Amino acid sequence: MKKNNDLFVVIMAGGVGVRFWPHSRNARPKQFLDILGTGKTLIRSTFERFAPVCPVENIFVVTSQEYEAITKSELPELAGSQILTEPMRKNTAPCIAYAAWKIRTLNPKAVMVVSPSDHLILNEQEFQSTILKAAEKSDQDKLITLGIKPTRPETGYGYIQYLESKTSLKKVKTFTEKPELSIAKKFVESGDFVWNSGIFIWGVQAICKALEVHTPDIADAIEDLSVHFGKSTEPEAVTNAYSICKSISIDFGVMEKADNVYVMLATFPWSDLGSWGSLHENSKRDENNNHIEGLVMTYDTRNSFIKSKDGKLMVVQGLNGYLIGWFDDVLIVCEKDREELFRRYVADLKNVPDGPKFL
CA distances 37 to 41, 47, 233, 290, Å, are: 9, 17, 41, 16
Query: What whole-number distance in Å separates Cα of residue 185 and Cα of residue 101?
Result: 40
- Residues in Cβ contact with 104 at an 8 Å cutoff, skipping those fewer than 6 apart: 110, 204, 205, 208
What is the rounded CA–CA span in Å between residue 145 and residue 138?
Answer: 11
Q: What is the pLDDT of residues 122-178, one digit of tens each?
A: 899 999 999 999 999 888 899 999 999 888 888 888 899 999 888 888 999 999 988
Cα 216 from Cα 94, distance rounded (Å): 11
Q: Which CATH class is domain 7-271?
A: alpha beta
Q: What are the pLDDT digits (tens) for 62-90?
A: 999 999 999 999 999 999 999 999 999 99
Q: What pLDDT does residue 177 have?
A: 87
91 backbone dihedrals φ, ψ, rounded to 5°:
70, -165
Q: How confident is the model at residue 1 (pLDDT cuts 50, 70, 90)?
A: low
Give residue limits of the domains in the chain: 7-271, 276-358
Task: Output the pLDDT for position 157.
Answer: 85
pLDDT in tens, 183-209: 989 998 888 899 999 999 999 999 999
> 213-250: per-residue pLDDT in tens?
999 999 999 999 999 999 999 999 999 999 999 999 99
pLDDT value of position 164: 86
Place 181 in a pLDDT band, splitting at 50, 70 and 90: confident
Question: pTM for the whole thing?
Answer: 0.93
What percentage of the chain exceeds 90 in pLDDT?
Answer: 76
Cα(147)–Cα(136) distance, integer angstroms: 17
2 against 111, higher pLDDT: 111
What share of residues in the chain are helix, strand, coil (percent, to 5)? Answer: 35, 25, 35
